[in-house]
Amino acid sequence: MRAVAAVAVTLWVREVARVLGTTTRRVTVAAAVSCVLLIIFGLGLALVAGAQLGDGIAVELRLSLARTSFSAAAMTAGIVAVILCLSAPPRTALQNLLDLLPVSRTAARLGQLAPVLVAGLVYSAALTSTAVVVVLRTSAGGADALRGIASYVVLLASFLLGAVAAFTALQAAAVALLRLPVPYASTFSGVVALAGVLALTAPDILALRPSPSDGGGLADLLPARAFARLAAAPDPASAAASVLWAVFAVVLLWRVSRHHVPGAPRAAIRLLRRTRPIRRTAWWGQLWAELLIAVRTPQFVVTALLLPLGVLAVWVLARTVPASALVVPTLAGSLPVLPFVLAVNAVGRTLPTQWLSRLAGGDRVPVLGPKAVAAGCAGVALGAPALVAVLLAGLIPATQIPDIAVRCALGLAAGLLCGAIVPYSEEQPLSASAAGFLLAFVYMSITLASGWVAGVAAPGTDRVLILAAITVLAALYAGIAARQSRREPTRA
């Protein structure tokens, strides 16, 4: 398994170096620097949360606070794991090669998953670093703090492994038993896995007040509650439950890794059939080709199927849980932005075959403009109905539309840039993970920084800053993607 993981990382580093026209050493250094920046970002979030938490925490509130923070951390890890599964290619050339070698199916599968899971663990830890602050503030000494941090790390790893295992098992069952195509099976398994993650973690996140019925009972055996009790108020029952949950996640992933991995569908999903370019020019022809590729990808189909379910889930949350009123506008406003970040796959999908259009039409064939417009049109096709749905459902006010539009443009520009820096590859699952993490880091950094500036400056400043950031990101994308497009004909 270790050898397979090393091969997967080496192949990814070499492919990124080849596409960017640089050395593998520089790619490795850039990846290390990205991890350091991600850790610094997490420490910044932890410092902000620590300043708001205060020093005096009542003893009776420590367990409740630990439950809430650990449940939020577990939910984040589970969501990250499901997103990684949805964005990764269903099967790679490395997997096909390993099937011909004397390598067990379990070692081959776990070896390819190991780098992705490690990256997901680091990213989840950075996003949920506030839980570490809670552990440090509620610990009586150094030994308690170490036990709490260890419980937090094992909880994140357990949810990552468990969510990936559940997704894999559900996808295999949907393909084998229900005879669903891979994109629909992925959607089904993603929805069920997300529902399971929310069912295990949402009770402690939405319960702002502790109730007398919280203590004792089967509810304390939930993974986040067991690990939180182990960190804040350990007892033999919480320790045993935590160990059982961790072992269950490992064993489940090991079991499902022994099964055959479903491959890609034999035929692409043929949306926009019998269409043609509006005008017979190179620009419109390239736009038509890019749009066809964008809407026929599995990620586009999965997003189209998940968005209505997401709107329904937020609507049910708003109607059934009054305490969720603070997060409903944020959740509903993020749904229309989701289709635009699919632009992170736009550059990598056409980069290996881009030399064909240049060979047929010469250097005058436009590439960057049609690609960006096609990604924007695909985002509008899914984002506009989602925006109308959340408006009609009363989940967001109409005054929030300009902010959502600006964030959609930010997601598009950030996706194109991050997709050009780390191009998507159907043969490398780690490429989708790295590009997705970079995109989330860039998007969150810009939105958080602009929101902080707007809080200390005049209202509306955040929109100006985001628009300026969009301009910079678009210029960087144009420069990097143009350099790549000039290199591809030479390689071919």
Contact 476, 446 (CB under 8 A): no
Under DSSP, the state recorded for 327 is: T
Name the residue with higher pLDDT: 274 or 407: 407
Rounded to whole angstroms, how far apart are CA atoms 353 and 367?
12
Q: Is 433 helix (H, G, I), strand (E, B) or coil?
A: helix
**If we measure between CA atoms, which residue out of 375, 353, 379 comes closest to residue 365?**
353
Mean pLDDT of 467-490: 82
Identify the domain boundary among 267, 292, 324. Answer: 267
Under DSSP, the state recorded for 422 is: S
Rounded to whole angstroms, how far apart are CA atoms 396 and 411?
19
Rounded to whole angstroms, how far apart are CA atoms 433 and 439?
10
User: How many domains in the chain?
Assistant: 2
Residues 256 and 355 in one domain: no
The set of long-range contacts for 150-155, using a CB threshold of 8 Å and a minimum separation of 24, is 151/70, 151/227, 151/228, 151/230, 151/231, 151/242, 152/70, 152/73, 152/227, 152/231, 153/121, 153/125, 154/227, 154/242, 154/246, 155/70, 155/73, 155/74, 155/77, 155/223, 155/224, 155/227, 155/242
Tell me the two tokens of residue 331: 């959740």
Instruction: List Cβ neighbours of 309 (8 Å cut-off, separation of 6 or more).
Output: 191
Contact 214, 66 (CB under 8 A): no
Looking at residue 85, its pLDDT comes to 86
| Alpha helices, DSSP H, located in 21-58 | 24-53
Residues 374 and 491 in one domain: yes
pLDDT bucket at 58, cuts 50 / 70 / 90: low
Look-up of token digits 């593998």: 24
* Helix 24-53 × helix 105-127 angle, to 10°: 50
| Range with the largest mean pLDDT of 218-222, 232-236, 242-246, 369-373 | 242-246
Contact 491, 353 (CB under 8 A): no
Rounded to whole angstroms, how far apart are CA atoms 490 and 406?
38
Residues 159 and 289 in one domain: no
Residues 196 and 287 in one domain: no
**Cα–Cα distance list, 24 to 29, 175, 356, 440 (Å):** 9, 38, 27, 24
Looking at residue 95, its pLDDT comes to 77
pLDDT bucket at 373, cuts 50 / 70 / 90: very high
Residues 231 and 343 in one domain: no
b vs e for 296-321, b when ≥16 Cβ sit within 10 Å of the residue's Cβ? ebbbbbbbbbbbeebbebbbebbeee
Contact 378, 291 (CB under 8 A): yes
Contact 249, 165 (CB under 8 A): yes
* Statement: residue 185 has pLDDT above 60: yes
Residues 302 and 390 in one domain: yes
Q: What is the pTM of this model?
A: 0.82
* Statement: residue 376 has pLDDT above 90: yes
Our measurement of the distance from residue 418's CA atom to the centroid of its chain's CA atoms, rounded to an integer in Å, reads 13
* Statement: residue 408 has pLDDT above 60: yes
Instruction: List Cβ neighbours of 109 (8 Å cut-off, separation of 6 or more).
Output: 95, 257, 258, 261
Termini Cα distance of the chain: 34
With 0-12 CB in 10 A as exposed, 13-18 as middle and 19+ as buried, what is 324?
middle
pLDDT bucket at 407, cuts 50 / 70 / 90: very high
Residues 39 and 73 in one domain: yes
Looking at residue 159, its pLDDT comes to 95
Identify the domain boundary among 247, 267, 287. Answer: 267
Rounded to whole angstroms, how far apart are CA atoms 189 and 298?
14
Contact 409, 470 (CB under 8 A): yes
Rounded to whole angstroms, how far apart are CA atoms 472 and 453?
18
pLDDT, tens digit (0-9, with 9 covering 90-100), for 251-296: 999 999 887 665 555 445 677 777 888 888 878 888 888 898 888 8
Identify the domain boundary among 225, 249, 267. Answer: 267
Looking at residue 492, its pLDDT comes to 42
Residues 352 and 424 in one domain: yes
pLDDT, tens digit (0-9, with 9 covering 90-100), for 418-460: 998 888 877 777 787 888 888 988 998 899 888 888 877 777 7
Task: Compute how many other C-beta atoms are within 10 angstroms of the C-beta atom of residue 169.
Answer: 19
Residues 192 and 296 in one domain: no
* Statement: residue 211 has pLDDT above 60: no
Residues 157 and 285 in one domain: no
Mean predicted lDDT score pLDDT of the chain:
83
Looking at residue 209, its pLDDT comes to 47
* Statement: residue 212 has pLDDT above 60: no
pLDDT, tens digit (0-9, with 9 covering 90-100), for 33-50: 888 888 888 888 777 766
**If we measure between CA atoms, which residue out of 270, 70, 61 comes closest to residue 154?**
70
Looking at residue 389, its pLDDT comes to 94
* Statement: residue 241 has pLDDT above 80: yes
Residues 4 and 144 in one domain: yes
In degrees and rounded to multiples of 5, residue 273 shows phi and psi of -70, 155
Give the structural domain span for 354.
271-492
**Cα–Cα distance list, 304 to 102, 365, 414 (Å):** 40, 31, 21
Residues 40 and 161 in one domain: yes
pLDDT bucket at 335, cuts 50 / 70 / 90: very high
Looking at residue 55, its pLDDT comes to 58
